[in-house]
Amino acid sequence: MSNRIVVSLSPHEKDDLNIEKIMWGVVIALAPAFLASVYFYGLHAVRVVALSLIFCVGIEYVIQKFVTKEKITAFDGSAAITGLLLAFNVPSSIPWWQLLVGSVAAIGVAKMAFGGLGKNPFNPALVGRAFMLASFPVHMTTWPVPLKNLWTLGADAVTGATPLGVLAEHGPANLPGYMDLFIGKIGGCIGEVSAAAILIGGIYMLYKKIITWHIPVFYLLSLAGFSGILWMVDSSKYADPLFHMLAGGAMLGAWFMATDMVTSPMSVKGQIVFAVGGGILCGAIRIFGSYPEGCSYSILIMNAFVPLIDKYTKPRRFGTEVNYEFPG
């Protein structure tokens, strides 16, 4: 090794923030949701999560090694996050090969085809889920009930409807109670059921400064606001806003999907616009659309608007707030 003096440009210091720290921070934030999913769905949840992780990380590794032949970054944590989020967005009885198809769509199409980390316009986990929902509608809408057959893989699952499914079919009567919704003792995709676990993870991410509060709070508030207005107009037809915030994938979407840094706007103003648009769309799809759940589509649609939002919501440049006048 040479001993020559090195010349480089300033700054000559770097803090220790790197991609791995951010990504693995999010993975840790997803741990409470994972534990909740195991509590409610037992081995099935473990199966789904393990398969999804192996598929997503594996597909990224294979593509980087054999197809693009570039530097291998499959283990930096971003593929793991996609794997976890994809797993959290499917029911616990999903067949393994459907999960594989979803992972290929998520990592191969939505992420690597656009150029890898940082270049994708759409949230990969949501693209994977949307692809699976369109391709395998039956399996993707068959939800085993929680706390049954936890430790017996392979046994026939007892299935039931999700709270949003009940709302769509039968209206706002006979909905599960708030406590069940908050803890997660309801039917649904394995990661979205427990609002409490997601909230813990979200607060952890806020503490570690991985995300800021604007997107989750504004998403949930605008969803609540939109559904709340309709509920106040006719509460026999529409569910109340607290129900909407806790049911379905709204919590998971607001805290983990909408906050994905690659696919969300770059300024605080833009993030608020993005979150408000997403919340309203989510409510609109749930109430007026033919799908019982609209969270994933609302975020995907707002992802498409992000370049436009970025263009028109630039941070205020220093020096534009002219507040000094010479006296006299």
Partner 1 sequence: MNLKTFKRGGVHPPENKFSAGVPIQPLGIPERANIILLQNLGAPSVPVVKKGDKVKVGTLIGKAEAFISSNLHSSVSGTVEKIDDVVGFSGYKTPAVIIKVEGDEWEESIDRSPDLVTDIELEPEAIVEKIKEMGIVGLGGATFPAHVKYLGSPDRKADTLVVNGVECEPYLTSDHRLMLEKADEIMVGIRVMMKAGRVDRALVGIEANKPDAVENMRNKAENYPGIEIVPLKVMYPQGAEKQLVKALLNREIPSGKLPLDVGCIVNNVGTAFAVYEAVQKNKPLIERVVTITGKKLKKTGNFLARVGSPSSMLLEAVGETMPEGTRKIIGGGPMMGKALNSIDIPIYKGTSGLVLVDEAETWRREPLNCIRCAKCVGVCPMGLEPYLLEKLAKKERFDACEAESIVDCIECGSCSYTCPSALPLLDYIRYGKTNVMRIMRERRQK
Partner 2 sequence: MNPVILYSLATLGVLAAGAAMILFFVARKFRVDEDPRIDEVADLLPGANCGGCGYPGCRGFAEALVKAADAGDMSGLNCPPGGGDTMAAVGAFLGAEVGEATPMVAVVRCGGTCEKAPPKLEYNGPAKCDIAHKLFSGTNGCPYGCLGLGDCVAVCDYDAIHMDKETGLPVVDDEKCVACGLCVTACPRRIIELRPKGKKNRRVWVNCINKEKGAVARKNCQAACIACQICVKTCPEKIQAFIFKDNLAYIDTDKCIACGLCVPVCPTGAILATFTPPKPKPKTKPEAKPEPKPASEEATS
**Interacting residues toward partner 2 by CB under 8 A:** 2, 4-9
Distance CA 223, CA 318 (A): 34
Least distance in angstroms from the C-beta of 1 to partner 1: 9
Q: Note whether 78 and 21 are within 8 A (CB).
A: no
How far is it, in rounded angstroms, from Cα 68 to Cα 284? Answer: 41
Nearer to partner 2 by C-beta: 7 or 158? 7
The smaller minimum CB distance to partner 1, of residues 112 and 224, is found at 112
Interaction residues for partner 1, span 245-274 (CB under 8 A):
261-264, 266-267
The amino acid that residue 157 corresponds to is A
* Rounded distance between C-alpha atoms, residue 118 and residue 2, angstroms: 35
15 is written with which tokens? 């803090």
Does residue 69 touch partner 1 according to CB under 8 A? no
By beta-carbon proximity to partner 1, the closer residue of 288 and 326 is 326
Which structure tokens are listed for 146?
């929680």
Determine which residue in the list 27, 35, 73, 159 makes contact with partner 1, applying CB under 8 A: 73
The distance of closest approach from Cβ of residue 78 to partner 1 in the complex, given in angstroms and rounded to an integer, is 8
User: How far is 10 from 299, CA to CA, in rounded Å?
Assistant: 39
Question: What six digits make up the tokens of 63?
Answer: 């593509």
Structure tokens at 284: 């609109």
Q: How far is the CB of 2 from partner 2 (least distance, A)?
A: 7
- Select from partner 1, partner 2, none the partner in contact with residue 319, using the beta carbon and a kind-dependent cut-off of 5 to 8 Å: partner 1
Pairwise CA distance, residues 231 & 241, whole Å: 7
Nearer to partner 2, 5 or 173 (CB): 5
Which window, 14-22, 135-143, 156-164, 169-177, contacts partner 1 (CB under 8 A)?
Answer: 14-22
**Residue 310: count of CB within 10 angstroms of its CB:** 15
Site residues, partner 1 (CB under 8 A): 3-15, 17-19, 21-22, 73, 78, 115-119, 261-264, 266-267, 314-324, 326-327
